[in-house]
Amino acid sequence: MVKDILVIGTGISGLTFAIKTAQKNPEVSIVLIAKADLSEGNTRYAQGGIAVVSNFKIDSYQKHIDDTLIAGDGSCDPEVVKFVVEEGHERLQELIGWGTQFDTQDNLLHLAKEGGHSEKRIVHYKDSTGQQIQDALIAKIRTFPNIRLLENHSLVDLITDHHTKTNFKRCYGAYVISKAQEEIIKISAKITVLSTGGAGNLYAHTTNPEIATGDGLGAAYRAKVYMEGLPYVQFHPTALLPKIDGHTFLITEAVRGAGGLLRNAEGDRFMPKYDSRAELAPRDIVARAIEREIQQSKVKHVFLDGSPIPIEKWETRFPSVFDTCASIGIHLPKDYIPIVPAAHYFCGGIKVDHHGASRLKGLYAIGECSATGLHGANRLASNSLLESLVYSHRAALAALEELQQKLPDDAFYEQIPEWMGDPYTSSEKISEIDTLRKKLQSVMTEKVGIFKDNMGLEEADQVMAGIYDAVITLYNNNKLTLALSELRNMVSIAHLLIKQAKLLKVNKGVFYNQDNVS
Protein backbone atom coordinates (compact mmCIF):
# COMPACT_ATOMS: atom_id res chain seq x y z
CA MET A 1 0.00 0.00 0.00
CA VAL A 2 1.46 3.43 -0.95
CA LYS A 3 -0.07 6.56 0.58
CA ASP A 4 0.80 10.22 0.81
CA ILE A 5 0.39 10.20 4.57
CA LEU A 6 0.39 7.43 7.17
CA VAL A 7 -0.95 8.44 10.58
CA ILE A 8 -0.21 5.95 13.38
CA GLY A 9 -2.65 6.51 16.24
CA THR A 10 -6.23 7.71 16.44
CA GLY A 11 -6.41 9.74 19.65
CA ILE A 12 -7.03 13.47 19.67
CA SER A 13 -3.74 14.23 17.91
CA GLY A 14 -3.88 11.68 15.08
CA LEU A 15 -7.56 12.29 14.33
CA THR A 16 -7.21 16.09 14.43
CA PHE A 17 -4.16 15.95 12.18
CA ALA A 18 -5.98 13.76 9.63
CA ILE A 19 -9.15 15.88 9.66
CA LYS A 20 -7.14 19.07 9.14
CA THR A 21 -5.06 17.59 6.34
CA ALA A 22 -8.05 16.11 4.53
CA GLN A 23 -10.02 19.35 4.87
CA LYS A 24 -7.22 21.44 3.44
CA ASN A 25 -6.37 19.08 0.59
CA PRO A 26 -8.99 16.47 -0.36
CA GLU A 27 -6.55 15.08 -2.99
CA VAL A 28 -4.12 13.76 -0.40
CA SER A 29 -4.41 10.03 0.32
CA ILE A 30 -4.27 9.22 4.03
CA VAL A 31 -4.30 5.99 5.99
CA LEU A 32 -4.86 6.00 9.74
CA ILE A 33 -4.01 2.98 11.82
CA ALA A 34 -5.06 2.12 15.36
CA LYS A 35 -3.69 -0.63 17.54
CA ALA A 36 -7.14 -1.55 18.86
CA ASP A 37 -10.44 0.02 17.79
CA LEU A 38 -10.51 3.67 16.79
CA SER A 39 -11.61 4.88 20.18
CA GLU A 40 -9.07 3.18 22.48
CA GLY A 41 -6.24 5.37 23.75
CA ASN A 42 -5.51 7.88 26.49
CA THR A 43 -7.74 10.55 24.95
CA ARG A 44 -10.88 8.57 25.64
CA TYR A 45 -10.15 8.46 29.38
CA ALA A 46 -9.43 12.18 29.88
CA GLN A 47 -11.82 13.46 32.51
CA GLY A 48 -10.78 16.96 33.53
CA GLY A 49 -10.78 18.81 30.22
CA ILE A 50 -8.75 21.24 28.13
CA ALA A 51 -6.94 24.27 29.56
CA VAL A 52 -7.88 27.23 27.34
CA VAL A 53 -8.10 30.88 28.33
CA SER A 54 -11.73 31.80 27.69
CA ASN A 55 -12.89 34.36 30.27
CA PHE A 56 -10.75 37.37 29.45
CA LYS A 57 -12.39 39.43 32.24
CA ILE A 58 -10.54 37.50 34.93
CA ASP A 59 -8.00 35.43 32.99
CA SER A 60 -5.27 36.23 30.48
CA TYR A 61 -2.84 34.40 28.21
CA GLN A 62 -0.03 35.68 30.39
CA LYS A 63 -1.48 34.03 33.49
CA HIS A 64 -1.78 30.68 31.69
CA ILE A 65 1.75 31.07 30.32
CA ASP A 66 3.08 31.81 33.82
CA ASP A 67 1.27 28.82 35.34
CA THR A 68 2.69 26.52 32.63
CA LEU A 69 6.23 27.84 33.14
CA ILE A 70 6.00 27.44 36.91
CA ALA A 71 4.77 23.84 36.64
CA GLY A 72 7.52 23.06 34.08
CA ASP A 73 10.09 24.13 36.69
CA GLY A 74 12.39 26.15 34.44
CA SER A 75 12.55 23.51 31.69
CA CYS A 76 9.81 24.67 29.29
CA ASP A 77 10.54 26.36 25.97
CA PRO A 78 8.97 29.81 26.56
CA GLU A 79 8.32 30.39 22.87
CA VAL A 80 6.39 27.13 22.60
CA VAL A 81 4.42 27.87 25.76
CA LYS A 82 3.40 31.26 24.36
CA PHE A 83 2.11 30.07 20.99
CA VAL A 84 0.38 26.99 22.39
CA VAL A 85 -1.51 29.07 24.95
CA GLU A 86 -2.37 31.80 22.44
CA GLU A 87 -3.50 29.44 19.66
CA GLY A 88 -5.65 27.33 21.98
CA HIS A 89 -8.76 29.45 21.71
CA GLU A 90 -9.00 29.12 17.91
CA ARG A 91 -8.33 25.38 17.99
CA LEU A 92 -11.04 24.91 20.62
CA GLN A 93 -13.58 26.70 18.41
CA GLU A 94 -12.73 24.28 15.59
CA LEU A 95 -13.24 21.33 17.90
CA ILE A 96 -16.64 22.71 18.87
CA GLY A 97 -17.40 23.26 15.18
CA TRP A 98 -16.75 19.55 14.56
CA GLY A 99 -19.47 18.64 17.03
CA THR A 100 -17.71 18.39 20.40
CA GLN A 101 -19.87 19.52 23.30
CA PHE A 102 -18.66 21.26 26.42
CA ASP A 103 -20.61 22.20 29.54
CA THR A 104 -21.98 25.73 29.56
CA GLN A 105 -23.49 28.06 32.11
CA ASP A 106 -25.50 31.14 31.08
CA ASN A 107 -24.48 30.45 27.45
CA LEU A 108 -20.79 30.65 28.29
CA LEU A 109 -18.35 27.76 28.57
CA HIS A 110 -18.30 26.45 32.13
CA LEU A 111 -14.74 26.73 33.43
CA ALA A 112 -13.25 24.49 36.12
CA LYS A 113 -10.11 24.94 38.15
CA GLU A 114 -7.32 22.39 38.49
CA GLY A 115 -4.04 22.11 40.37
CA GLY A 116 -1.39 24.64 39.35
CA HIS A 117 -3.86 26.92 37.52
CA SER A 118 -4.25 30.42 38.95
CA GLU A 119 -7.70 30.83 37.35
CA LYS A 120 -10.69 28.75 36.32
CA ARG A 121 -9.92 27.86 32.69
CA ILE A 122 -10.60 24.14 32.14
CA VAL A 123 -13.33 23.59 29.55
CA HIS A 124 -14.93 20.20 30.00
CA TYR A 125 -17.87 17.93 29.32
CA LYS A 126 -18.98 16.72 32.76
CA ASP A 127 -16.14 14.42 33.84
CA SER A 128 -15.86 12.58 30.51
CA THR A 129 -14.35 15.23 28.26
CA GLY A 130 -12.06 12.77 26.48
CA GLN A 131 -14.88 10.43 25.50
CA GLN A 132 -16.85 13.39 24.18
CA ILE A 133 -13.91 14.60 22.06
CA GLN A 134 -13.02 11.12 20.81
CA ASP A 135 -16.61 10.38 19.71
CA ALA A 136 -16.93 13.71 17.89
CA LEU A 137 -13.61 13.27 16.08
CA ILE A 138 -14.43 9.70 15.04
CA ALA A 139 -17.78 10.84 13.63
CA LYS A 140 -16.02 13.61 11.71
CA ILE A 141 -13.20 11.43 10.36
CA ARG A 142 -15.70 9.02 8.85
CA THR A 143 -16.97 11.77 6.54
CA PHE A 144 -13.74 11.95 4.48
CA PRO A 145 -13.54 9.65 1.44
CA ASN A 146 -9.76 10.13 1.11
CA ILE A 147 -9.05 8.69 4.57
CA ARG A 148 -8.71 4.93 4.99
CA LEU A 149 -9.11 3.62 8.53
CA LEU A 150 -7.30 0.45 9.59
CA GLU A 151 -8.16 -0.75 13.09
CA ASN A 152 -6.36 -3.51 15.00
CA HIS A 153 -3.07 -2.92 13.20
CA SER A 154 0.02 -2.19 15.26
CA LEU A 155 3.23 -0.42 14.33
CA VAL A 156 6.25 -2.73 14.30
CA ASP A 157 9.00 -0.59 12.78
CA LEU A 158 9.39 2.62 10.85
CA ILE A 159 10.74 2.15 7.31
CA THR A 160 14.07 3.93 6.92
CA ASP A 161 17.21 3.80 4.77
CA HIS A 162 18.15 0.69 6.76
CA HIS A 163 15.35 -1.18 4.94
CA THR A 164 15.57 0.52 1.53
CA LYS A 165 19.39 0.52 1.36
CA THR A 166 19.28 4.19 0.33
CA ASN A 167 20.69 7.33 1.87
CA PHE A 168 17.88 9.90 1.68
CA LYS A 169 17.81 10.06 5.50
CA ARG A 170 14.02 9.95 5.50
CA CYS A 171 11.19 7.89 6.91
CA TYR A 172 9.18 6.00 4.24
CA GLY A 173 6.23 4.61 6.20
CA ALA A 174 6.01 1.63 8.51
CA TYR A 175 5.72 -2.11 8.87
CA VAL A 176 2.60 -2.97 10.85
CA ILE A 177 1.27 -6.20 12.33
CA SER A 178 -2.38 -7.21 12.13
CA LYS A 179 -3.99 -8.32 15.36
CA ALA A 180 -6.09 -11.07 13.80
CA GLN A 181 -3.48 -12.97 11.76
CA GLU A 182 -0.34 -11.45 13.26
CA GLU A 183 0.87 -10.88 9.71
CA ILE A 184 3.22 -8.03 8.95
CA ILE A 185 2.29 -5.68 6.13
CA LYS A 186 4.13 -2.74 4.61
CA ILE A 187 2.57 0.71 4.36
CA SER A 188 4.77 3.05 2.30
CA ALA A 189 4.14 6.75 2.79
CA LYS A 190 5.77 10.03 1.90
CA ILE A 191 4.93 11.43 5.32
CA THR A 192 4.61 9.36 8.49
CA VAL A 193 3.01 10.73 11.64
CA LEU A 194 3.46 9.14 15.06
CA SER A 195 0.54 9.92 17.35
CA THR A 196 0.85 6.78 19.43
CA GLY A 197 0.33 8.29 22.89
CA GLY A 198 2.16 7.43 26.11
CA ALA A 199 3.81 4.49 27.82
CA GLY A 200 2.15 4.28 31.23
CA ASN A 201 2.34 0.48 31.13
CA LEU A 202 6.02 0.61 31.93
CA TYR A 203 4.67 0.84 35.50
CA ALA A 204 2.53 -1.52 37.58
CA HIS A 205 -0.07 1.16 38.36
CA THR A 206 -1.08 3.40 35.48
CA THR A 207 -4.11 5.43 34.51
CA ASN A 208 -3.37 4.57 30.86
CA PRO A 209 -5.19 1.79 29.00
CA GLU A 210 -3.35 -1.50 28.30
CA ILE A 211 -2.35 -0.49 24.79
CA ALA A 212 -0.17 2.40 26.04
CA THR A 213 3.15 0.58 25.78
CA GLY A 214 5.25 3.29 24.11
CA ASP A 215 5.29 1.62 20.69
CA GLY A 216 5.88 4.86 18.78
CA LEU A 217 8.78 5.69 21.07
CA GLY A 218 10.20 2.18 20.71
CA ALA A 219 10.06 2.32 16.91
CA ALA A 220 11.60 5.81 16.92
CA TYR A 221 14.39 4.53 19.19
CA ARG A 222 15.25 1.76 16.72
CA ALA A 223 15.18 4.30 13.87
CA LYS A 224 17.70 6.38 15.89
CA VAL A 225 15.33 9.35 16.17
CA TYR A 226 16.33 11.80 18.89
CA MET A 227 14.25 11.70 22.09
CA GLU A 228 14.47 13.74 25.25
CA GLY A 229 12.92 14.16 28.66
CA LEU A 230 11.83 10.53 29.13
CA PRO A 231 12.51 10.52 32.91
CA TYR A 232 9.87 13.23 33.37
CA VAL A 233 7.04 10.80 34.01
CA GLN A 234 4.09 12.41 35.70
CA PHE A 235 2.32 10.35 38.36
CA HIS A 236 -1.29 11.28 38.89
CA PRO A 237 -1.83 11.67 42.62
CA THR A 238 -5.34 10.30 42.79
CA ALA A 239 -5.99 6.91 41.18
CA LEU A 240 -8.71 4.78 42.73
CA LEU A 241 -7.64 1.68 44.65
CA PRO A 242 -8.58 -1.12 43.91
CA LYS A 243 -8.33 -1.56 40.14
CA ILE A 244 -11.64 -2.21 38.40
CA ASP A 245 -11.56 -5.03 35.81
CA GLY A 246 -7.77 -4.76 35.84
CA HIS A 247 -7.83 -1.06 35.01
CA THR A 248 -6.75 1.76 37.31
CA PHE A 249 -9.53 4.36 37.41
CA LEU A 250 -8.55 8.01 37.73
CA ILE A 251 -10.25 10.46 40.06
CA THR A 252 -10.00 13.74 38.23
CA GLU A 253 -8.06 16.60 39.71
CA ALA A 254 -11.18 18.73 39.32
CA VAL A 255 -12.59 16.92 42.37
CA ARG A 256 -9.90 18.62 44.44
CA GLY A 257 -10.63 21.84 42.54
CA ALA A 258 -14.25 21.52 43.68
CA GLY A 259 -13.24 21.15 47.35
CA GLY A 260 -12.10 17.51 47.81
CA LEU A 261 -9.50 17.06 50.58
CA LEU A 262 -6.67 14.58 51.03
CA ARG A 263 -6.47 12.69 54.32
CA ASN A 264 -4.00 10.09 55.58
CA ALA A 265 -4.77 6.73 57.17
CA GLU A 266 -5.49 8.52 60.49
CA GLY A 267 -8.00 10.76 58.75
CA ASP A 268 -5.80 13.85 59.10
CA ARG A 269 -5.56 16.40 56.30
CA PHE A 270 -1.86 16.51 55.33
CA MET A 271 -1.35 18.67 52.24
CA PRO A 272 -1.06 22.05 54.04
CA LYS A 273 2.11 20.85 55.76
CA TYR A 274 3.74 20.12 52.37
CA ASP A 275 2.69 23.17 50.32
CA SER A 276 0.79 26.41 50.86
CA ARG A 277 -1.42 25.57 47.85
CA ALA A 278 -2.42 22.40 49.71
CA GLU A 279 -4.62 20.06 47.59
CA LEU A 280 -4.25 22.37 44.58
CA ALA A 281 -0.45 22.26 44.44
CA PRO A 282 0.97 20.89 41.16
CA ARG A 283 0.72 17.14 40.68
CA ASP A 284 4.35 16.30 41.39
CA ILE A 285 4.16 17.90 44.83
CA VAL A 286 0.86 16.23 45.68
CA ALA A 287 2.05 12.82 44.39
CA ARG A 288 5.26 12.98 46.45
CA ALA A 289 3.36 14.05 49.56
CA ILE A 290 0.97 11.11 49.16
CA GLU A 291 3.88 8.70 48.61
CA ARG A 292 5.57 10.00 51.80
CA GLU A 293 2.34 9.58 53.80
CA ILE A 294 1.99 6.03 52.46
CA GLN A 295 5.62 5.22 53.35
CA GLN A 296 5.03 6.48 56.91
CA SER A 297 1.88 4.43 57.35
CA LYS A 298 1.02 0.73 57.42
CA VAL A 299 -1.81 1.38 54.98
CA LYS A 300 -0.86 1.39 51.30
CA HIS A 301 -3.10 4.27 50.28
CA VAL A 302 -4.46 7.62 51.47
CA PHE A 303 -8.00 8.97 51.17
CA LEU A 304 -9.78 11.57 49.10
CA ASP A 305 -12.51 13.11 51.22
CA GLY A 306 -15.32 14.29 48.94
CA SER A 307 -17.67 15.38 51.73
CA PRO A 308 -17.18 19.15 51.10
CA ILE A 309 -18.80 18.61 47.66
CA PRO A 310 -22.61 18.43 47.73
CA ILE A 311 -24.25 15.29 46.34
CA GLU A 312 -25.99 17.24 43.53
CA LYS A 313 -22.58 18.35 42.27
CA TRP A 314 -21.23 14.80 42.40
CA GLU A 315 -24.17 13.62 40.30
CA THR A 316 -24.06 16.36 37.69
CA ARG A 317 -20.38 17.34 37.50
CA PHE A 318 -18.64 14.05 38.31
CA PRO A 319 -21.10 11.32 37.32
CA SER A 320 -18.42 8.82 36.16
CA VAL A 321 -16.51 9.06 39.43
CA PHE A 322 -19.76 8.95 41.43
CA ASP A 323 -21.05 5.84 39.62
CA THR A 324 -17.69 4.04 39.55
CA CYS A 325 -17.20 4.53 43.29
CA ALA A 326 -20.77 3.38 43.95
CA SER A 327 -20.09 0.23 41.91
CA ILE A 328 -17.50 -0.85 44.50
CA GLY A 329 -19.51 0.24 47.54
CA ILE A 330 -18.06 3.73 48.07
CA HIS A 331 -21.01 6.08 48.50
CA LEU A 332 -20.23 9.74 47.88
CA PRO A 333 -20.04 12.22 49.39
CA LYS A 334 -19.97 10.54 52.82
CA ASP A 335 -17.39 7.75 52.19
CA TYR A 336 -13.70 8.48 51.82
CA ILE A 337 -12.17 7.27 48.50
CA PRO A 338 -8.96 5.16 48.84
CA ILE A 339 -6.39 6.46 46.37
CA VAL A 340 -2.75 5.91 45.26
CA PRO A 341 -0.54 7.76 42.76
CA ALA A 342 -0.26 6.07 39.32
CA ALA A 343 1.93 6.61 36.22
CA HIS A 344 -0.07 9.00 34.10
CA TYR A 345 1.72 11.09 31.52
CA PHE A 346 5.05 11.11 29.66
CA CYS A 347 6.22 14.75 29.49
CA GLY A 348 9.16 13.77 27.26
CA GLY A 349 9.29 11.87 23.99
CA ILE A 350 10.35 12.39 20.39
CA LYS A 351 11.95 15.81 20.10
CA VAL A 352 10.07 17.92 17.54
CA ASP A 353 10.32 21.43 16.10
CA HIS A 354 7.53 24.01 16.28
CA HIS A 355 5.60 22.10 13.60
CA GLY A 356 5.85 18.60 15.02
CA ALA A 357 8.70 17.52 12.70
CA SER A 358 11.16 15.07 14.25
CA ARG A 359 14.83 15.05 13.36
CA LEU A 360 14.22 12.31 10.78
CA LYS A 361 12.84 13.85 7.60
CA GLY A 362 9.33 12.77 6.68
CA LEU A 363 8.55 11.77 10.29
CA TYR A 364 6.32 13.89 12.51
CA ALA A 365 5.37 13.23 16.13
CA ILE A 366 2.33 14.81 17.79
CA GLY A 367 0.52 14.43 21.08
CA GLU A 368 1.85 12.56 24.06
CA CYS A 369 4.62 10.72 22.19
CA SER A 370 6.29 14.03 21.31
CA ALA A 371 8.51 16.39 23.29
CA THR A 372 7.59 19.89 22.15
CA GLY A 373 9.00 21.90 25.04
CA LEU A 374 5.56 22.85 26.37
CA HIS A 375 5.66 20.75 29.52
CA GLY A 376 9.30 20.96 30.53
CA ALA A 377 9.86 18.92 33.68
CA ASN A 378 6.18 18.74 34.58
CA ARG A 379 2.96 19.07 32.63
CA LEU A 380 0.39 21.50 33.93
CA ALA A 381 -2.99 19.77 34.29
CA SER A 382 -5.11 19.75 31.11
CA ASN A 383 -2.35 21.19 28.94
CA SER A 384 -1.85 17.96 27.00
CA LEU A 385 -5.13 17.97 25.07
CA LEU A 386 -4.38 21.62 24.30
CA GLU A 387 -0.90 20.73 23.04
CA SER A 388 -2.35 17.96 20.85
CA LEU A 389 -4.81 20.35 19.21
CA VAL A 390 -2.26 23.07 18.53
CA TYR A 391 0.48 20.78 17.24
CA SER A 392 -1.86 18.68 15.08
CA HIS A 393 -2.86 21.87 13.30
CA ARG A 394 0.72 23.06 12.88
CA ALA A 395 1.96 19.63 11.78
CA ALA A 396 -0.86 19.30 9.22
CA LEU A 397 0.18 22.56 7.56
CA ALA A 398 3.86 21.57 7.58
CA ALA A 399 3.17 18.07 6.22
CA LEU A 400 1.07 19.41 3.34
CA GLU A 401 3.87 21.82 2.49
CA GLU A 402 6.47 19.05 2.64
CA LEU A 403 4.41 16.99 0.18
CA GLN A 404 4.93 19.79 -2.35
CA GLN A 405 8.70 19.53 -2.05
CA LYS A 406 10.95 17.27 -4.10
CA LEU A 407 10.62 13.79 -2.58
CA PRO A 408 11.63 10.34 -3.85
CA ASP A 409 9.31 9.43 -6.77
CA ASP A 410 6.31 7.07 -6.60
CA ALA A 411 8.27 4.17 -8.12
CA PHE A 412 10.67 4.30 -5.20
CA TYR A 413 7.84 3.90 -2.67
CA GLU A 414 6.34 1.04 -4.66
CA GLN A 415 9.62 -0.87 -4.59
CA ILE A 416 10.19 -0.68 -0.84
CA PRO A 417 10.85 -4.27 0.31
CA GLU A 418 8.34 -6.26 2.30
CA TRP A 419 9.11 -7.01 5.95
CA MET A 420 12.09 -9.36 6.12
CA GLY A 421 12.27 -9.94 9.85
CA ASP A 422 14.66 -12.58 11.04
CA PRO A 423 14.37 -16.26 10.22
CA TYR A 424 12.70 -17.97 13.17
CA THR A 425 12.42 -21.52 14.38
CA SER A 426 9.34 -21.50 16.56
CA SER A 427 5.85 -20.07 16.26
CA GLU A 428 4.59 -21.45 19.56
CA LYS A 429 2.94 -19.04 21.99
CA ILE A 430 5.80 -17.53 23.94
CA SER A 431 5.09 -18.04 27.64
CA GLU A 432 7.96 -15.90 28.96
CA ILE A 433 6.55 -12.65 27.59
CA ASP A 434 4.04 -12.14 30.38
CA THR A 435 6.64 -12.92 33.07
CA LEU A 436 9.19 -10.54 31.55
CA ARG A 437 6.58 -7.78 31.19
CA LYS A 438 5.59 -8.07 34.87
CA LYS A 439 9.23 -8.09 35.94
CA LEU A 440 9.87 -4.92 33.92
CA GLN A 441 6.84 -3.18 35.43
CA SER A 442 7.78 -4.16 38.96
CA VAL A 443 11.39 -2.92 38.63
CA MET A 444 10.25 0.36 37.06
CA THR A 445 7.75 0.89 39.88
CA GLU A 446 10.16 0.08 42.70
CA LYS A 447 13.37 1.63 41.39
CA VAL A 448 12.31 4.23 38.82
CA GLY A 449 9.05 5.48 40.37
CA ILE A 450 8.19 8.69 42.25
CA PHE A 451 11.30 8.47 44.46
CA LYS A 452 14.54 7.30 42.84
CA ASP A 453 18.12 6.89 44.03
CA ASN A 454 21.42 6.16 42.28
CA MET A 455 21.71 2.58 43.47
CA GLY A 456 18.14 1.81 42.44
CA LEU A 457 18.72 3.26 38.96
CA GLU A 458 21.87 1.15 38.60
CA GLU A 459 20.02 -2.00 39.64
CA ALA A 460 17.14 -1.21 37.30
CA ASP A 461 19.61 -0.69 34.46
CA GLN A 462 21.10 -4.12 35.01
CA VAL A 463 17.74 -5.86 35.23
CA MET A 464 16.65 -4.10 32.04
CA ALA A 465 19.80 -5.28 30.22
CA GLY A 466 18.89 -8.86 31.17
CA ILE A 467 15.29 -8.43 29.99
CA TYR A 468 16.55 -6.87 26.77
CA ASP A 469 18.82 -9.85 26.05
CA ALA A 470 15.94 -12.24 26.73
CA VAL A 471 13.66 -10.26 24.41
CA ILE A 472 16.20 -10.22 21.59
CA THR A 473 16.67 -13.97 21.91
CA LEU A 474 12.89 -14.43 21.73
CA TYR A 475 12.72 -12.03 18.78
CA ASN A 476 15.44 -13.89 16.86
CA ASN A 477 13.98 -17.34 17.42
CA ASN A 478 10.24 -16.83 17.21
CA LYS A 479 7.60 -15.47 14.88
CA LEU A 480 7.03 -11.83 15.81
CA THR A 481 3.79 -11.45 17.75
CA LEU A 482 1.97 -8.35 18.97
CA ALA A 483 2.91 -9.11 22.59
CA LEU A 484 6.58 -9.58 21.73
CA SER A 485 6.57 -6.38 19.69
CA GLU A 486 5.13 -4.48 22.69
CA LEU A 487 7.67 -5.94 25.09
CA ARG A 488 10.50 -5.05 22.70
CA ASN A 489 9.28 -1.44 22.77
CA MET A 490 8.77 -1.36 26.53
CA VAL A 491 12.26 -2.62 27.34
CA SER A 492 13.87 -0.23 24.85
CA ILE A 493 12.08 2.76 26.32
CA ALA A 494 12.71 1.65 29.91
CA HIS A 495 16.41 1.35 29.07
CA LEU A 496 16.55 4.82 27.49
CA LEU A 497 14.53 6.35 30.34
CA ILE A 498 16.91 4.92 32.96
CA LYS A 499 19.95 6.02 30.94
CA GLN A 500 18.61 9.58 30.76
CA ALA A 501 17.60 9.48 34.46
CA LYS A 502 21.13 8.54 35.51
CA LEU A 503 22.40 11.70 33.81
CA LEU A 504 19.99 14.04 35.63
CA LYS A 505 21.87 15.52 38.56
CA VAL A 506 19.28 18.19 39.44
CA ASN A 507 15.74 17.42 40.56
CA LYS A 508 13.14 19.28 38.59
CA GLY A 509 9.38 18.98 38.27
CA VAL A 510 8.32 15.36 38.45
CA PHE A 511 11.88 14.01 38.54
CA TYR A 512 13.13 13.25 42.04
CA ASN A 513 16.36 11.39 42.80
CA GLN A 514 16.93 11.34 46.57
CA ASP A 515 20.71 11.33 46.02
CA ASN A 516 20.46 14.68 44.22
CA VAL A 517 19.26 16.28 47.45
CA SER A 518 22.27 17.61 49.34
Ligand X SMILES: Cc1cc2nc3c(=O)[nH]c(=O)nc-3n(C[C@H](O)[C@H](O)[C@H](O)COP(=O)(O)OP(=O)(O)OC[C@H]3O[C@@H](n4cnc5c(N)ncnc54)[C@H](O)[C@@H]3O)c2cc1C
Contacts with ligand X by CB under 6 A lie at 8-14, 33-36, 40-43, 45-50, 129-130, 154-155, 195-197, 207-208, 211, 215, 250, 345, 367-368, 382-385, 388
CB-wise, 270 or 318, nearer to ligand X? 318
Question: DSSP assignment of 399-468, as one string?
Answer: HHHHHTS----HHHHHTPPPP-----SB-S--THHHHHHHHHHHHHHHHSSSSB-HHHHHHHHHHHHHHH
Distance CA 173, CA 155 (A): 10
Separation of alpha carbons 87 and 83, rounded Å: 6
Strands 184-194 and 363-365: parallel
The minimum distance between CB 370 and ligand X, in angstroms, equals 8
Closer by beta carbon to ligand X, 45 or else 314: 45
- Of the candidates 4, 10, 23, 34, the one whose C-alpha atom is nearest the C-alpha of residue 144 is 23
Alpha-carbon distances of 373 from 147, 497, 501, rounded to whole Å = 30, 17, 18
The least CB distance from residue 466 to ligand X, in Å, is 24
Least Å distance, CB 405 to ligand X, is 26
Q: What is the CA radius of gyration of the chain?
A: 22
Nearest CA-CA partner of 225 in 349, 335, 128, 122: 349
Q: Least CB distance from residue 268 to ligand X, whole Å? A: 28
501/313 Cα distance (integer angstroms) = 42
Nearer to ligand X, 171 or 463 (CB): 171
- Per-residue three-class SS string for 35-88: CCCCCCCHHHHCCCCEECCCCCCCCCHHHHHHHHHHHCCCCCCHHHHHHHHHHH
Q: Verify whether residue 91 is a known catalytic residue.
A: no
Cβ closer to ligand X: 217 or 460?
A: 217
Sign of the Cα torsion 208, 210, 215, 221 reads positive
Choice between 11 and 333, CB closer to ligand X: 11
- Judged by beta carbon, residue 18 or residue 271, the one nearer ligand X is 18
Which of 284, 326, 312, 360 is CA-nearest to residue 70? Answer: 284
CB of 518 to ligand X, least distance (A): 34
Q: Name the residue among 123, 117, 108 with its Cα closest to residue 46.
A: 123
Nearer to ligand X, 77 or 215 (CB): 215
What CA–CA distance (Å, rounded) separates 162 from 485?
A: 19
* From 121, 170, 283, 317, the catalytic residue: 283
Shortest distance (Å) from residue 379 CB to ligand X: 8
Catalytically annotated residues: 283
